[in-house]
Amino acid sequence: MLTAEEDYKRIIDANFSENVRSAQEMQKYIKTKTARYHGYHVHTLYIPKIFTEEMAAYFEKIASVMYGILEKVILRYRADKDYRALFGFDKKLEELILRPAHYDCLLPIARIDIFFNEDDFSFKFCEFNADGSSAMNEDKELNTAIRATSAFQEFTKLYDARTFELFDSWAAAFSKIYSSYDKAVKKPYVAIVDFFGGDISREFTEFQKAFERRGLECEICEITNLKYDGKNLISPRGRKIDAVYRRAVTCDIMRNYDKVLPFINAAKNNDVCLIGDFMTQIIHNKIVFKVLRDDATLAFLTDSEKDFVMKHIPLTVSLTDETVKKYGVLEEKEKWVIKPEDSYASKGVYAGVEGMSDEEWRAKVTENVGKSYLLQEYCPPYASLNIDLPHDSGAQYRNYSNITGIYVYGGKMAGLYSRIAKTGIISTQYSEMSLPTVITKKKGK
């Protein structure tokens, strides 16, 4: 019996010229729409990322278990001074993290990225993204684009195919979290807050529309343009803000601390509901991968949680002269990745497998030793077949590396985000692309 992917390839090959035409129409659609990243149209391929219902249920379980563990880590950080020391956050950040909790949810939104083997369901975690979690609009637009193609329409004669809705579901989760806020009002004025530099992502306008569909006024705000009068956080339009959907990542806030003091002071004084609060940085910072495997963490986890961590969290240590020597990092570069403790969008990430010469790898390792860098075991991603017909009418099928993002809203899986690459490293600085994600089931089964 053919798999869904094999059926998809068979459908394409049965009428290849028609699918070349359809792929080109798909690309025209993408160029007219809002799926962009750093100003560029998202690059995608012709076959969507196909998961089974069984896989989707498994992802829900992964998200639930990991979320529970991360909640315990956040609570222990807030309660235990010695445990806090493992993270090494500076005093300004620690002060923000230790603010009293004013609503029930410790981690309102996250995207948990994993390397998932579709053959045996084994997996390793790649990273945890908190408030800056993005790409919901990419998934929405790419799914719209793929559904209009000839191949997908033929495919859905054989399979039921569903996707995830990621905007109204977040507005609903946000509202539920806000309802437990200790100063909640009936209809809060919501601000989506980030550093924009004059370029507001269309993803933000989609979230704005979702809040408005719930009957809530919503403003997209440049974080540096907020004002604070000692009692109220004021938007650029002059409106009192009741609740903030924070998209500004913590490292950017801390780098611009003096420029965002109105925002920080309003949060400190609980004059605005901050969703998510600064405590989410505990899991957003990549040092959590090192801390998760530390004895201090394993001591407060259940036996099953310990097994889960040791099986699925890759070996992660600080990048020092000692660890470089201990693990033979310079001699076996294909086994290792180095990455900053606190960054996003794959900035500063280097992998020994990514075509570096021994000399280039040695230079990258030695120049970052002792500079808040982590050393992490390299996890080979799962490879699957796809074809780049949207950009090349003469394209051939080839294998692409996969990474799966699990969106978690209010502690529950809300959707999936799929990325692929031509090489063994899936990041924006190499050959990363996005795929629409569909959950499928054979009709009649």
CATH code assigned at 365: 3.30.1490
Kindly give, in sequence order, each residue whose CB lies less than 8 Å from that of residue 103, ignoring residues fewer than 6 positions away: 177, 178, 180, 181, 182, 273, 275
297 in a domain, yes or no? Answer: no
Domain boundary among the residues 338, 353, 376 is at 376
Containing structural domain, residue 321: 315-376
**pLDDT tens per residue across span 83-133:** 999 999 999 999 999 999 999 999 999 999 999 999 999 999 999 999 889
Of 211, 167, 213, 168, give the one whose Cα is nearest residue 190: 211
pLDDT band at 263 (very low <50, low <70, confident <90, very high): very high
Measured in whole angstroms, how far is the alpha carbon of residue 94 from the centre of its chain?
23
Please indicate, yes or no, whether residues 197 and 255 belong to a single structural domain of this protein: yes
How far apart are the C-alpha atoms of 442 and 445, rounded to whole Å?
6
**pLDDT tens per residue across span 394-408:** 999 999 999 999 999
Please indicate, yes or no, whether residues 77 and 194 belong to a single structural domain of this protein: yes
Please indicate, yes or no, whether residues 245 and 331 belong to a single structural domain of this protein: no
Residue type, 321: D
For residues 368 and 330, the answer to whether their CB atoms sit within 8 Å is: no
Please indicate, yes or no, whether residues 216 and 323 belong to a single structural domain of this protein: no
Residue 89 CB burial class (10 angstroms; 0-12, 13-18, ≥19): buried
Please indicate, yes or no, whether residues 170 and 134 belong to a single structural domain of this protein: yes
Domain tally, the chain: 2
What is the structure's pLDDT at 32? Answer: 83
**pLDDT tens per residue across span 34-82:** 555 445 578 899 999 999 999 999 999 999 999 999 999 999 999 999 9
Please indicate, yes or no, whether residues 229 and 337 belong to a single structural domain of this protein: no
Q: Tell me the pairing of strands 412-421 and 123-129.
A: unpaired
294 in a domain, yes or no? Answer: no
**pLDDT tens per residue across span 163-174:** 999 999 999 999
How far apart are the C-alpha atoms of 74 and 399, rounded to whole Å?
39
Q: Whole-prediction pTM value?
A: 0.95
Please indicate, yes or no, whether residues 127 and 205 belong to a single structural domain of this protein: yes
For residues 241 and 272, the answer to whether their CB atoms sit within 8 Å is: yes
Distance (Å) of CA 248 to CA 40, 106, 148, 255: 20, 17, 34, 11
How far apart are the C-alpha atoms of 402 and 420, rounded to whole Å?
5
Domain boundary among the residues 376, 400, 428 is at 376
pLDDT band at 428 (very low <50, low <70, confident <90, very high): low
Distance (Å) of CA 182 to CA 83, 101, 103, 152, 273: 28, 9, 6, 48, 9
